[in-house]
């Protein structure tokens, strides 16, 4: 079988981004010169659990388990001091998520709410459909790029922690996500094509300095759930929420991009998700969630938490993004044309 390899720009390791506070500054300094002091419980407990500083610091720590950063040693992936700080950051973030999600009536109630598509929604895809401009579309692509250029990677962590039906179904979905064995069909590659069609740089991590905490929190949540076996139920719940919400949102994005005139090369990514994720939704609900709970029924509350946490963070992201656009402002930390987005890469 002949395959096409991803272009080199998508595989380079990004430069470390500028820090956003005492936590991320300490992590950045440690990654450059290991051995210095890192923040402790007092500094972490004083940080906003949804703030820029905490989420950049946590993202930097998680990135070591994926592709890392240019000029940062791979040896730091399991550095005990970084892992100690990461655990503190995770606890602060997870405690806030659990407080924000509150109590629920059970998994059925959570899924019923998830499956109810609003007639008149207010998320980013709705805004783009009604009011979006080409500039808004480019910003949205940048905001989502931190995850989409590595799409499906955080969800792979859960595979060895599943059994039977759940594992088989999870791999069936992931096989689609990774292009069914064809590199040019990988969803991350399709997203890189989308960015190029929108005159954006598709290099992995290129725009990290411009992406704010609401988008980083969504990505950090995936690693928080995926990297810990005890959070496997939450990861499955998150994955279910992602797959259930994807087809209608992707349909709106296709319509929005056609209205804006983005071109077929840009539209292809979302067009692929309309059909693929409609199938994935059923597979995830019946086999991944159903299979997990058949084996481990005690994880039902964890699955529900994963769904709720995803909805909570998606709503916060949508609110921050659409409010900025409605006010005539950028949804990025600095405008695309003015941002110093990265330094040299490996």
Tokens 């259930």 correspond to 244
Tell whether the model's pLDDT for residue 13 goes beyond 80.
yes
Please indicate, yes or no, whether the overall pTM of this predicted structure exceeds 0.75: yes
For range 31-56, the mean pLDDT = 97
Say if residues 313 and 242 touch (Cβ distance below 8 Å): no
DSSP 5: P
DSSP 339: -
DSSP 186: -
CB atoms within 10 A of CB 188: 24
DSSP 121: -
Averaged pLDDT of the chain:
90
pLDDT at 282: 83
Tokens 């096409």 correspond to 4
Say if residues 24 and 43 touch (Cβ distance below 8 Å): no
pLDDT at 118: 65
Band of pLDDT at residue 120, cut at 50, 70 and 90: low
pLDDT per residue as tens digits for the range 217-264: 999 999 999 999 999 999 999 999 998 888 889 999 999 999 999 989
Q: Which two tokens stand for residue 176?
A: 């689609």
Half-sphere exposure of 40 (CA within 13 A, CB side): 2
Band of pLDDT at residue 1, cut at 50, 70 and 90: very low
Tell whether the model's pLDDT for residue 9 goes beyond 50.
no
Say if residues 221 and 309 touch (Cβ distance below 8 Å): yes
For range 16-20, the mean pLDDT = 97
Q: How far apart are CA 105 and CA 75, in angstroms?
A: 45
Closest to 147 measured CA to CA, from 204, 84, 225: 204
Least confident of 10-14, 86-90, 304-308: 10-14
Q: Is 118 helix (H, G, I), strand (E, B) or coil?
A: coil
Q: Which two tokens stand for residue 222?
A: 């995936």
What residue ranges do the domains of the chain occupy? Answer: 9-100, 106-326
User: How is domain 106-326 classified at the architecture level of CATH?
Assistant: Up-down Bundle (1.20)
Tokens 């991803």 correspond to 6
pLDDT at 302: 96
Say if residues 27 and 44 touch (Cβ distance below 8 Å): no
For range 1-26, the mean pLDDT = 71
DSSP states along 283-298 = HIIIIIIHHHHHH-GG
Closest to 277 measured CA to CA, from 250, 251, 247, 253: 247
């Amino acid at each position: 079988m002949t395959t096409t390899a991803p272009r080199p720009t998508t595989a380079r390791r990004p430069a470390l981004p500028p820090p956003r506070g005492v936590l991320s500054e300490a992590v950045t300094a440690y990654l450059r010169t290991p051995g210095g002091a890192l923040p402790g419980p007092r500094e972490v407990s004083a940080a906003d659990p949804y703030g820029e500083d905490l989420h950049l610091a946590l993202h930097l720590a998680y990135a070591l388990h994926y592709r890392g950063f240019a000029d940062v040693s791979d040896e730091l992936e399991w550095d005990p001091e970084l892992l100690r700080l990461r655990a503190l950051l995770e606890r602060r973030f997870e405690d806030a998520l659990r407080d924000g999600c509150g109590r629920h009536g059970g998994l059925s109630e959570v899924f019923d709410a998830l499956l109810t598509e609003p007639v008149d929604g207010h998320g980013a895809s709705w805004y783009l459909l009604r009011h979006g401009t080409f500039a808004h579309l480019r910003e949205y692509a940048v905001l989502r790029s931190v995850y989409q250029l590595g799409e499906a990677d955080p969800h792979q962590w859960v595979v060895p922690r599943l059994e039977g039906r759940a594992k088989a179904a999870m791999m069936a979905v992931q096989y689609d996500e990774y292009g069914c064995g064809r590199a040019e069909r990988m969803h991350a590659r399709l997203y890189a094509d989308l960015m190029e069609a929108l005159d954006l740089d598709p290099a992995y991590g290129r725009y990290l300095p411009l992406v704010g905490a609401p988008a980083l929190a969504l990505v950090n949540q995936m690693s928080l759930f995926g990297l810990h076996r005890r959070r496997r139920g939450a990861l499955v719940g998150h994955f279910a929420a992602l797959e259930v919400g994807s087809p209608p949102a992707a349909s709106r994005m296709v319509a929005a991009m056609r209205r804006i005139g983005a071109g077929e090369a840009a539209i292809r990514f979302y067009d692929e998700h309309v059909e693929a994720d409609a199938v994935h939704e059923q597979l995830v609900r019946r086999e991944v969630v159903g299979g997990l709970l058949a084996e481990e029924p005690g994880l039902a509350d964890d699955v529900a938490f994963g769904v709720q946490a995803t909805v909570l963070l998606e709503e916060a992201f949508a609110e921050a993004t659409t409010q900025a656009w409605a006010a005539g402002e950028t949804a990025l930390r600095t405008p695309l044309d003015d941002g110093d987005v990265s330094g040299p890469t490996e």
